[in-house]
A and B are shown apart, each in its own frame.
Chain A
Amino acid sequence: MSAVLARAPARSLAIALDKVSHAFNLRGSPLPVLQDIDLHVAAGEFVALLGPSGCGKSTLLRLVAGLETPTQGEISADGRVIEAPDPSRILVFQDPTLFPWATVWRNAATGLAARGVLERERGRVDEALELVGLTAFARAYPHQLSGGMAQRAALARALVNDPALLLLDEPLGKLDSLTRLTLQGELLSLWRAKGFTAILVTHDVEEAVLLSSRVVVLSERPARIQREFVVAAPYPRHRDDPELVSLRREILASLGLPT
């Protein structure tokens, strides 16, 4: 595992959202979901987005991925405006969204196959599966995997493309709490080893504080940036670190929740 990590090139993107607003068209009338979002994420940074349910966090990730274009404002990666999806910026969903008709190996290989480079770079698929510990399940089908394994496979499918930006849309949201703790650790070590930029949407304040270097709190829909918290504690972090515990309390309070 460490050998694979060691020779991965350090690649990351700086992301800038300038006055980004977005609205959905709901039966003819616009439903605003994001309002005047100004957010700059430095290359290699790990930013967590927190906010009430349905506030537009997922939409924000879809915009940065390029799957949708904002109705107003501009999003750029390393200074270039994002207009279309690109394999350098990969979105990992809450559901693993693996193709049920393909094996784990085939699923992980999707990006390479889609770009027609699979034959030349088959080894990358094996490496990614090794990285997430699914080598033994390469020939299994998604319905044979547990929730945690499926999410690992989805992570492998992203990592095969050596993304410079990983957009994580509550990737651990549906997992049981033990699997969740394990995968938090794995996600963190991947980020530290590979050096990509990461933006994580989560509902779990503890997860945000444990993983990210900055926590951005969004308001109710239409979402605006309400507050930002810098998490200065060095890695590896410990859940019981008093500094993190008090920061967690502060963030919960800013979300209007009892601490």
Chain B
Amino acid sequence: MSQATELLAPVAPSRARAFGRPIWTAGLAAAAAWAATAAVTRALPNVVAFGSDDLFAGLTGFGAVGFLTLAFAAPRSGRVRETLDYYGPWFIAVGVWLALWEFTTAKTGWLPKPFFSAPTGLLHVYVTDGDRLLYCIAYSARLWALGFGLGAVIGYVAGVALGWSKPFAYWGMPILKLIGPVPATAWIPVTFFFFPTTFDASVFIVALASGIPITILTSSGVAAVDRAYYDVGRNLGATSWYLISRIAIPSALPHTFVGLFMGLYYSVAVLVVAEMLGAKYGLGWYIQFQTNYSGYANVYATIVIMAFICAGLVKLLFVVRDRLLGWQKGFI
């Protein structure tokens, strides 16, 4: 132990010099890039007008001031500083990207309307149509939560039953193998006919799309449980219920999570299609509606929202998985 500290001692100061730089230089570059964006937006005349120029210049200028402050005020070491150092190149790249984007669209018209939009155009959509977008987000969120929730619960219960019970597997597996590969979108026209409202039909479609991978993966996980675990359980006096709930289910959980991730992707994909075809509100409907009016800025703005929502959901599922499957660390 003391030997180890002796070995480290001469190394430590040089490390401190290497990493403990007083000024966060990437922050200076980022501030310059973001300031350039603000300057391009504010100083050059518009060839094509998208609106919200002042707000965009203000926001990017505010960002530039923020980076400049951080460049001098950021802590010399520690967690915050490591994060800043790590993401520094990204902050610069985003600033450069915004400046080029604004320049090639609004300022020169090289990338023409309506298929291309300027960053100011996207911002303008959020400013002018924010209420409707929020309503659409809420509408899609309700549809997704109901569909995915139902699909996950029913799919999970069905998966455990199929993996555990021989009669269930005998009757259920062939049906699952036949229905499972059919793309859920193929059901959309008939379900709109069978369900009283398009919303009910959409919930069903989303539930189907997310439920099937969860069922397949959970059942295969339960069926693949090491028989020796059941021997241990039976030997120690476990009931069937204990074998299912305390051995089969936790043992199959890694599979179940793969199913949940697949279900998450399918559910969002199907949700957008279902909304495009028959909904009165929702992000999918909004994209479809705006495309009909050549509102491509609105379409891009919606895609950006979707990207953040989907990435957030995936991240959330990862957090849940890491909490529940912490015991797996030695295996993966």
Q: Which residues of A contact B (CB under 8 A)?
A: 62, 65-67, 85-87, 89-91, 93, 95, 97, 99-102, 110-111, 113-115, 141-144, 157, 161
Of residues A67, A87, A93, A100, which shows the largest number of chain B Cβ atoms within 10 Å of its Cβ? Answer: A100
Indicate which residue in A62, A114, A143 contacts B236 across the interface (CB closer than 8 Å).
Answer: A114
B247 and A99 form a contact (CB under 8 A): yes
Which residues of chain B come closer than 8 Å to A65, judged between CB atoms? 235
A143 and B331 form a contact (CB under 8 A): yes
Nearest CB on A from B231, distance (A): 6
How many chain B residues sit at the interface, stated as a range, is 20 to 34
Which residues of chain A come closer than 8 Å to B231, judged between CB atoms? 62, 67, 91, 93, 97
Indicate which residue in B228, B234, B237, B239 contacts A93 across the interface (CB closer than 8 Å).
Answer: B228
Which residues of chain A come closer than 8 Å to B238, judged between CB atoms? 110, 114-115
Which residues of chain B come closer than 8 Å to A144, judged between CB atoms? 330
Which residues of chain A come closer than 8 Å to B232, judged between CB atoms? 93, 97, 99, 110, 157
A143 and B327 CA atoms in complex are apart in Å by 8
A102 and B330 CA atoms in complex are apart in Å by 13
Indicate which residue in A89, A93, A114 contacts B242 across the interface (CB closer than 8 Å).
Answer: A114
B246 and A141 form a contact (CB under 8 A): no
Known: A101-B253, A143-B327. A114 touches B233 (CB 8 A): yes
Instruction: Let me know if B318 is at the binding interface, CB within 8 A.
Output: no
Nearest CB on A from B138, distance (A): 37
A100 and B329 CA atoms in complex are apart in Å by 10
A-B contact pairs, 15 of them (CB 8 A): A67-B234, A85-B234, A85-B235, A90-B236, A97-B226, A97-B229, A99-B251, A100-B327, A101-B251, A102-B250, A110-B232, A111-B236, A115-B237, A143-B331, A144-B330
Instruction: Let me know if B83 is at the binding interface, CB within 8 A.
Output: no
B237 and A87 form a contact (CB under 8 A): yes
Instruction: Let me know if B328 is at the binding interface, CB within 8 A.
Output: yes
Known: A114-B242, A141-B327, A144-B330. A99 touches B250 (CB 8 A): yes
Indicate which residue in B237, B251, B325, B329 contacts A86 across the interface (CB closer than 8 Å).
Answer: B237
| Beta-carbon contacts under 8 Å, B204-248 to A | 226, 228-229, 231-239, 242, 246-247
Nearest CB on A from B233, distance (A): 6
A113 and B246 form a contact (CB under 8 A): yes
Which residues of chain B come closer than 8 Å to A62, judged between CB atoms? 231
Which residues of chain A come closer than 8 Å to B328, judged between CB atoms? 100-101
Which residues of chain A come closer than 8 Å to B246, judged between CB atoms? 113-114
B236 and A101 form a contact (CB under 8 A): no
A157 and B251 CA atoms in complex are apart in Å by 19
Closest to A167 in B: B235
B233 and A110 form a contact (CB under 8 A): yes
A91 and B237 CA atoms in complex are apart in Å by 12
Known: A143-B330, A143-B331. A97 touches B234 (CB 8 A): no
A67 and B330 form a contact (CB under 8 A): no
Which residues of chain A come closer than 8 Å to B250, judged between CB atoms? 99, 101-102
Closest to B241 in A: A114
Of residues B231, B239, B251, B326, which shows the largest number of chain A Cβ atoms within 10 Å of its Cβ? Answer: B231
| Beta-carbon contacts under 8 Å, B311-332 to A | 325-331
A95 and B234 CA atoms in complex are apart in Å by 17
